[in-house]
């Protein structure tokens, strides 16, 4: 059973499913929750994961009844299908509730969490909560393990699959031809996130910034690569901008990641993917005001972008909350568009940070699949082999 609740988790789940099938062939059957990528690997989702696209504390409170209902439905699916192992991917709130239900209702099922909560950034108590809910953690950051192991949760560092993103089939010339851009026309990528709530909060200031940049640079082309979870909504919003912007999906999305001169990106997995593609960027982020006040009191790190955290430096500018506004974003992006040396320096610093994060290591999806199968094998050897004792 593979359970993911958002676009980034869908990508992780698809990679894991693909790696498991390579090892097990047609002898493996998948059930669970996921998006389009997992569906391509044979995971028919119980429901549309857009229903779980929640961001912010207050938004989470309002969505709580829906999350509980979907967690109950996911647990009911597990009771019917009796999986050998359930891998619960990312998205802390939903997957924790699924894990707690499976622990009560199917106590002999091996539970694996894929991506732990960022306890190094905020709310360290979640490490103990997770240790009580699952049997093993697949961590994507090397610095995760100590936080969870001290709570008794066995942890395997598998690496960040975003660092294994393959752009070998991407063609920036194809993107330029699609939008009618000449070889020398500058391209700005606008990436508004993969959750509806992210899109709602960041797209208006991103649109304002794009409008200001276009007014000063008539030859600028604006390209909006979109996640499947918000594609229709983003297209509708962009259509109302009153300016020339191209929304792209599928293969053209990867083409865009290599074609862009500068990106304006919502904080998230896409910032790592952009860095791997060699794109300099400005990172913007906004959430509801009440959620921001609450989270600000909890956050323990200076940065929100992973490669900035790895570098412990503002390699990419971060404009958060009130600073995430049209004029400020346009100024930061414009400084990169107008200065090739500045862009090159930022890309070099991003690459150095990616090396610290583990770029070039073994394929994370393959390591994750290997770990899951090893855990299953050990579980078959004896009841105490794979599952730690719980107090």
Tens-digit pLDDT profile for residues 172-195 = 999 999 999 998 899 999 999 888
Question: How far apart (Å, rounded) are the C-alpha atoms in residues 70 and 363?
Answer: 32
- Give the residue from 155, 135, 134, 138 showing the smallest Cα distance to 146: 155
The residue with tokens 């699609």 is: 178
Band of residue 120 on the pLDDT scale cut at 50, 70, 90:
confident
Question: How far apart (Å, rounded) are the C-alpha atoms in residues 202 and 279?
Answer: 20
pLDDT at 385 over 50: no
Tens-digit pLDDT profile for residues 270-298 = 999 999 999 999 999 998 777 666 666 56
Tens-digit pLDDT profile for residues 216-236 = 999 999 999 998 878 899 999
Higher-pLDDT residue of 165, 348? 348
DSSP notation for 197-252: HHHHHHHHHHHHHHHHHHHH-TT-EEEEE--GGGHHHHHHHHHTSSS-EEEE-HHH
Is residue 94 within 8 Å of residue 13, measured between CB atoms? no
CATH superfamily label, 2-159+361-381: Glycogen Phosphorylase B; (3.40.50.2000)
Question: What pLDDT, on the 0 to 100 scale, is given for residue 130?
Answer: 97
Question: How far apart (Å, rounded) are the C-alpha atoms in residues 294 and 75?
Answer: 31
370 — phi, psi (to 5°)?
-60, -40
Question: What pLDDT, on the 0 to 100 scale, is given for residue 118?
Answer: 86
Average the pLDDT over 225-253 and give the result: 90
Band of residue 357 on the pLDDT scale cut at 50, 70, 90:
confident
Question: How far apart (Å, rounded) are the C-alpha atoms in residues 85 and 125?
Answer: 26
4-13, 14-23, 312-321, 324-333: least confident range = 4-13
Average the pLDDT over 39-44 and give the result: 94
Sequence ranges of the chain with CATH classification 3.40.50.2000: 2-159+361-381, 172-357
Question: How far apart (Å, rounded) are the C-alpha atoms in residues 14 and 364?
Answer: 12
Q: Strands, E, within 63-109: which ranges?
A: 85-89
Question: What pLDDT, on the 0 to 100 scale, is given for residue 350?
Answer: 97
> Quick one: tokens of 133?
């809910």
**DSSP H helices in 240-325:** 250-259, 269-276, 289-296, 306-311
Question: What pLDDT, on the 0 to 100 scale, is given for residue 25?
Answer: 93
> Quick one: tokens of 5?
């609740």
Please name the CATH architecture into which domain 172-357 falls: 3-Layer(aba) Sandwich (3.40)
Q: With b meaning 16 or more CB within 10 Å and e meaning fewer, what string describes 310-334?
A: bbeeebbbbbbbeebbbebbbebbb
Question: How far apart (Å, rounded) are the C-alpha atoms in residues 222 and 329?
Answer: 14
Question: What pLDDT, on the 0 to 100 scale, is given for residue 289?
Answer: 74
| pLDDT above 70 as % of the chain | 92
pLDDT at 306 over 80: yes
Average the pLDDT over 317-324 and give the result: 95
**Helix or strand (DSSP H, E) at 261:** none
52-61, 137-146, 190-199, 274-283: least confident range = 52-61
What is the chain's length? 391
Question: What pLDDT, on the 0 to 100 scale, is given for residue 183?
Answer: 87
Calculate the average pLDDT of the chain.
Answer: 90
Burial of 204 (0-12, 13-18, 19+ CB in 10 A): middle
28-32, 159-163, 227-231: least confident range = 227-231
Question: What pLDDT, on the 0 to 100 scale, is given for residue 300?
Answer: 67
Question: What pLDDT, on the 0 to 100 scale, is given for residue 383?
Answer: 45
Higher-pLDDT residue of 390, 79? 79
Burial of 239 (0-12, 13-18, 19+ CB in 10 A): exposed
């Amino acid at each position: 059973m593979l359970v993911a609740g958002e676009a980034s988790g869908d990508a992780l789940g698809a990679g894991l499913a693909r790696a498991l099938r390579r090892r097990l062939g047609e002898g493996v059957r998948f059930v669970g929750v996921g998006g389009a990528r997992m569906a391509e690997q044979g995971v028919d989702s119980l429901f549309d994961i857009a229903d779980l696209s929640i961001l912010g504390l207050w938004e989470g409170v309002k969505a709580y009844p829906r999350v509980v209902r979907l967690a109950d439905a996911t647990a009911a699916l597990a009771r019917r299908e009796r999986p050998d192992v359930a891998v619960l991917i990312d998205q802390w709130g939903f997957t924790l509730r699924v894990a707690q239900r499976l622990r009560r209702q199917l106590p002999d099922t091996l539970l694996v969490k894929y991506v732990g909560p960022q306890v190094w950034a905020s709310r360290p108590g979640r490490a103990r909560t997770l240790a009580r809910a699952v049997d093993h953690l697949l961590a994507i950051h090397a610095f995760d393990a100590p936080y969870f192991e001290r709570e008794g949760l066995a942890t395997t560092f598998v690496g960040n699959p975003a660092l294994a993103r393959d752009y070998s089939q991407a063609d920036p010339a194809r993107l330029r031809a699609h939008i009618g851009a000449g070889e020398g026309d500058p391209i700005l990528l606008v990436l508004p996130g993969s959750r509806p709530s992210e899109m709602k909060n960041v797209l208006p200031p991103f649109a304002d910034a794009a409008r200001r940049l276009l007014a000063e640079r008539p030859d600028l082309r604006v390209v909006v690569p979109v996640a499947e979870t918000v594609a229709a909504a983003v297209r509708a919003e962009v259509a109302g901008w009153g300016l020339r912007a191209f929304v792209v999906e599928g293969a053209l999305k990867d083409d865009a990641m290599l074609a862009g001169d500068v990106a304006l990106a919502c904080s998230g997995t896409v910032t790592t993917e952009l860095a791997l593609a060699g794109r300099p960027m400005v990172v913007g982020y906004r959430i509801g005001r009440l959620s921001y006040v609450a989270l600000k009191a909890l956050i323990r790190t200076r940065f929100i972008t992973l490669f900035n955290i790895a570098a412990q430096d503002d390699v990419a500018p971060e404009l958060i909350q009130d600073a995430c506004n049209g004029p400020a974003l346009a100024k930061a992006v414009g400084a990169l568009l107008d200065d090739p040396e500045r862009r090159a320096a930022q890309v070099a610093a991003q690459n150095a940070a990616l090396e610290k994060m583990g770029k070039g290591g073994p394929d994370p999806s393959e390591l994750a699949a290997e770990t899951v199968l090893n855990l299953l094998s050990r579980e078959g050897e004896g009841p105490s082999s794979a599952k730690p004792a719980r107090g």
